[in-house]
Amino acid sequence: MKSLIEYVPASRWEEAFPLGNGALGAMVYGGITREVFDLNEETVWNGSPRNRINPDALSHLPEIRRLLREVKPEEAEELALYTLAGTPDNENSYQTPGNFRLNFAPGFPGNGIPLPEESDVRDYKRVLDLERAIMEVSYSRGDVSYRREHLVSSPAGLFITRLSAGKRGALSLAGRFSRKDYIAASRRRGEDTLVMTGSGQGQDPVRFVCAARAVVQGGSFRCLGDHMVIKGADEILLFMGCVTSFRSVDPEEAVLGLLDRAAGRRWEDLREEHTGDYRRYFDRVDLTLGETGERENLAATSERLKRLREGIADRGLFALYFHFGRYLLISSSRPGTLPANLQGIWNPHSQPPWGSKYTININTQMNYWPAEMCGLGDCHAPLFDLLERMIPRGRTVAREMYGCRGFAAHHNTDIWGDCAPQDHWMPATFWCLGAAWLCLHFLEHYRHSRDGEFLKRSYPVLKESILFFEDFLTENGRGFLVTSPTVSPENTYIGKSGRRGRMCEGSAMDSQILRELFLGTAEWADILGEEEAGERYRALEKRLPPIAMGRDGRILEWLEEYGEEEPGHRHISHLFALYPGLQITPETTPELCEGAVRTLNRRLEGGGGHTGWSRAWILNFQARLRRGKEAFENLTTLLTHSTLPNLFCDHPPFQIDGNFGGTAGIGEMLLQSGKGTITLLPALPGAWPEGSLRGFRLRGGFRADLDWSGGELRRLRLICAEPGEVTLRYGTKRITPAFTYPGEELILSPEDF
């Protein structure tokens, strides 16, 4: 059963269930006498596009580099804070337009009539059905049964709720929009529609218009002031939408148009349309981890988490978590929408944590780690759109800050593609590889899809990113090309003199990202007949510092063997080459794998993995190292220590990247693909002795189905996208079958290895 279940209403936002269509989101509590729908629309941001580049950046860059070369990080950092930091230092933030509240009470709210007691409620249940993207609430009170069905439809562009009862005339309510913290104006428009208008802060901010309309069978209905009042109805269809000035010249007419088109349609048709649209994404992949008992399937999700914390096994909960991650990606990132931000699209705050922006020194990238393997490459598209939107501002950053060609971005961006430094926070602010890392997602999409048209369209983006580094990289005293200035996000080192530093010349992560970018783009250049460019990129790669290990066998995070102020730091940037990179593997670099194990052990001994997304990253590291026991332990810790009652990841506070990283990690435990290789059950834990997966997408354009039992492979079905060879690894065994035509199918059992 792929459903989240609870037997009491949500008492806080972290217990409510999320719904979304990529652009429009809702958190539904399932209240009885009061219901709240917390609403989001992906383009409700404060402010407007700005040029925040510090005018003193370029003229002081040589001095900052000199200070770093002379190992004077404190002096370099002080000068950087004055001359490189953005002016102003903060990008814009994502916001909520507000919520819609329902009071199920006689008369008007506040008229002195008390709300009815909830003590007589029986058989309460709320369910988020991940297979249909529909939330249902049901209960009985007295001799009447009540039911509510909620969905956010992509075809209709609306949040739609159906309220029904087992007795005629049993539905009465008053509803209204509200918005905390910032002023918004609510009013009625006509007899059946409420409208709320507002905007974010700042100069020329995004304006939004929310609208709600009810279609009522039986009873009476009218809009008064900023309320809709319904009495004695048999059935209610409630439609809600939000449109902003980012998308429309006239948001109010646009959202009213959505209501007009939907309000005359049958509920059954709207639901079927929504479900069919959603399932064309969700049904691409399936995963089971053995039979799950009815007791587990029907238990409250929060109770299942509690039992897991108590050490009670629940294989089905891990599969549910995997499917929930897929559900969240489909619901927060659709073709034509914006990419999922730090909270996906579900944010209840006018001033959210970290501005709910796109943090591109891992968090936004982690949101898309499961996209390709889960067959959701089209849900990856909004991230590509954002990077392309960043290019014009990234060119200005490259030119005016660094005197370079190409384009670059720092560790955050926003809805407008702002690429200037964010914050005055030294461990993170002055790192200009955000766009370079995002470019690697182009490479990954092609590796999984083998889409030649995508390659042709995206190749200029990769070339222009490299163009920046051709100008930006400087030669250090040992003949290597290094980034300067830079940091290792978001860590602090202790130099040999005991001085603390954040800024440096080169960091391990920088070189590892650039190695992936240079070599991956060189492959594309060869395919497109630009061999000379490919050779130039390979020549650049050869001059990057190699991955190095220190005296204790750990992989170095900086060019020098520095001490760490925080041994358990949440970022483990120097293992990028292990995951999501493809440079460290047990087959090709066993010594570096051993160094990665030592590095992880030291981080964990120091308290690492204390944030949800960091624990998810560690899970993926352990899976790539083929350590099934350790991967399972970290996945379990992710659920028991960093997961909220509604399965949202708890940073803390809520941050969605851990959900997506966890989903990717489960996939990596079961199937891995690299450059011409596929590894079967590489990190299968003993806790999952049997299971099956369907529809996984792999590098090389393969699609795979896999069955196992007794901890052993039983059947592999592999379908290719194009002719060629691939090496299949299962334990210590390997075979290299050849495919002769696109779509060819291969079915293997253990005896074939």
Angstrom distance (rounded) from CA 88 to CA 421 = 10
CB distance 286 to 695 below 8 Å: yes
- In 3D space, the residue among 435, 329, 421 whose CA is nearest the CA of residue 373 turns out to be 329
Q: State pLDDT tens for residues 463-490.
A: 999 999 999 999 998 999 999 999 999 9
- In 3D space, the residue among 301, 294, 293 whose CA is nearest the CA of residue 323 turns out to be 301
Check pLDDT > 90 for residue 106. Answer: no
Q: What is the pLDDT of residue 519?
A: 98
Q: The dihedral of CA 573, 579, 581, 584: what is its sign?
A: positive
Contacts of 32 (CB under 8 A, 6+ apart): 9, 104, 118, 121, 124, 139, 141
CB distance 608 to 569 below 8 Å: yes
Strand order across the 134-141 sheet: 3-6, 121-129, 134-141, 144-153, 158-165, 235-244, 207-217, 193-199, 184-189
- 8-state DSSP, 270: H
Q: Distance between alpha carbon 583 and the CA centroid of its chain, in Å?
A: 24
Q: State pLDDT tens for residues 107-166.
A: 444 444 455 556 689 999 999 999 999 999 999 998 999 999 999 999 999 999 999 999
Which residue type sits at 582?
L
Please spell the DSSP secondary structure of 509-575, one letter per residue. Answer: HHHHHHHHHHHHHHHHHHHTT-HHHHHHHHHHHHTSPPP-B-TTSPBPSBSS--EES-TT-S--GGG
CB distance 591 to 652 below 8 Å: no
pLDDT level of residue 498 (50, 70, 90 thresholds): confident
Say which range, 297-301, 452-456, 528-532, has the weakest mean pLDDT.
297-301
User: Which ranges constitute the DSSP H helices of 215-266?
Assistant: 251-263
Q: State pLDDT tens for residues 591-618.
A: 999 999 999 999 999 999 999 999 999 9
Angstrom distance (rounded) from CA 595 to CA 550 = 9
Q: What is the pLDDT of residue 180?
A: 79
What Cα–Cα distance (Å) separates residue 43 from each residue in 20, 210, 414, 420, 687? 14, 13, 10, 20, 43
pLDDT level of residue 426 (50, 70, 90 thresholds): very high
CA atoms within 13 A on the CB side of 61: 20
Check pLDDT > 90 for residue 4. Answer: yes
Angstrom distance (rounded) from CA 394 to CA 244 = 25
Q: What is the pLDDT of residue 109?
A: 45
Cβ atoms within 10 Å, residue 294? 8
Q: Which residue has the higher pLDDT, 682 or 185?
A: 682
Angstrom distance (rounded) from CA 234 to CA 171 = 6
Question: Which tokens go with 418?
Answer: 């702002």
Which residue type sits at 497?
S
Check pLDDT > 90 for residue 350. Answer: no
Angstrom distance (rounded) from CA 76 to CA 109 = 61
Q: What is the pLDDT of residue 110?
A: 45
Tell me the residue ranges of DSSP E strands in 398-551.
Answer: 412-413, 474-475, 481-482, 493-494, 500-501
What's the whole-number average pLDDT of the chain? 95
Angstrom distance (rounded) from CA 730 to CA 670 = 11
- In 3D space, the residue among 198, 572, 529 whose CA is nearest the CA of residue 350 turns out to be 198
Cβ atoms within 10 Å, residue 74? 14
Q: What is the pLDDT of residue 111?
A: 45
Q: State pLDDT tens for residues 270-290.
A: 999 999 999 999 999 999 998
- In 3D space, the residue among 195, 196, 192 whose CA is nearest the CA of residue 220 turns out to be 192
Q: State pLDDT tens for residues 233-250.
A: 999 999 999 999 999 999
Q: State pLDDT tens for residues 57-91.
A: 999 999 999 999 999 999 999 999 999 999 999 99
Angstrom distance (rounded) from CA 730 to CA 482 = 39
What Cα–Cα distance (Å) separates residue 741 from each residue in 429, 675, 699, 744? 49, 20, 17, 6
Cβ atoms within 10 Å, residue 362? 25
- In 3D space, the residue among 104, 129, 151 whose CA is nearest the CA of residue 6 turns out to be 129
CB distance 235 to 218 below 8 Å: yes
Q: Distance between alpha carbon 382 and the CA centroid of its chain, in Å?
A: 11
Angstrom distance (rounded) from CA 390 to CA 398 = 12
- pTM here is 0.97
Read off the pLDDT of each residue in 721-737 and give the average, rounded to a whole number.
96
Burial class (CB in 10 A: 0-12, 13-18, 19+), 453: exposed
CB distance 187 to 195 below 8 Å: yes
What Cα–Cα distance (Å) separates residue 427 from each residue in 53, 412, 423, 489, 731? 19, 13, 10, 6, 41
Q: State pLDDT tens for residues 613-632.
A: 999 999 999 999 999 999 99
